[in-house]
Amino acid sequence: MTPTHWIHRPLAHCEEANVVFFRGLTPHALTQGLLDQRRMPLAHGKGTDWGVLVHYMHSWDTDEYDSADYGPLCAAGGELAVFVTEPCIAKAHGPWFSYYRDGRLVCGFSFETPTLPVGDEPELLLPALEAAKLIGAQAQPDGDYREERIVETITGFLGLPELEMP
């Protein structure tokens, strides 16, 4: 049996978790910022360049389903690469990616429509996605591993570490 890639469920015991790679921030500052927004951190690790933190997507308040506000968590000199693995599990929407630098959303897009990015530099990842044949005239059929290929392209472009989750 092939293990499930982390973009589909980063932690086996938890649905609706976000994976946040961070650089230029301390794990403590990011954890405290998420706690201040009522988001429970579940796991973290610190590499030589990028660290990673996994947290519940939603607030622990039962009536609050807004997304975490990552801009304020990304202080000057900081970077966040955020993967919302299950943005709406009930509607089966694909993952969402956002890249923040110095508190600003640089680029973000749904894995369902990567050609419709948002942010200050919305087209930042488009050349890499086109080179990987995920978009554009040479795009290959979607197939079962399209989301994993998008993750691979993003991690390669930003130099994110390999992430193996149990």
Structural domain includes residue 2: no
Structural domain includes residue 36: yes
Structural domain includes residue 35: yes
Structural domain includes residue 95: yes
Among 35-39, 89-93, 139-143, the range of highest mean pLDDT: 35-39
Residue among 123, 81, 125 at smallest CA distance from 101: 81
Q: Which domain holds residue 105?
A: 17-60+67-121
Structural domain includes residue 46: yes
Say if CB 104 and CB 71 are below 8 A apart. yes
pLDDT digits (tens, 9 = 90+) for 111-165: 999 999 999 999 999 999 999 999 998 888 777 788 999 999 999 999 999 877 6
pTM of the predicted model as reported, rounded to 2 decimal places: 0.89
Number of domains in the chain: 1
Structural domain includes residue 37: yes
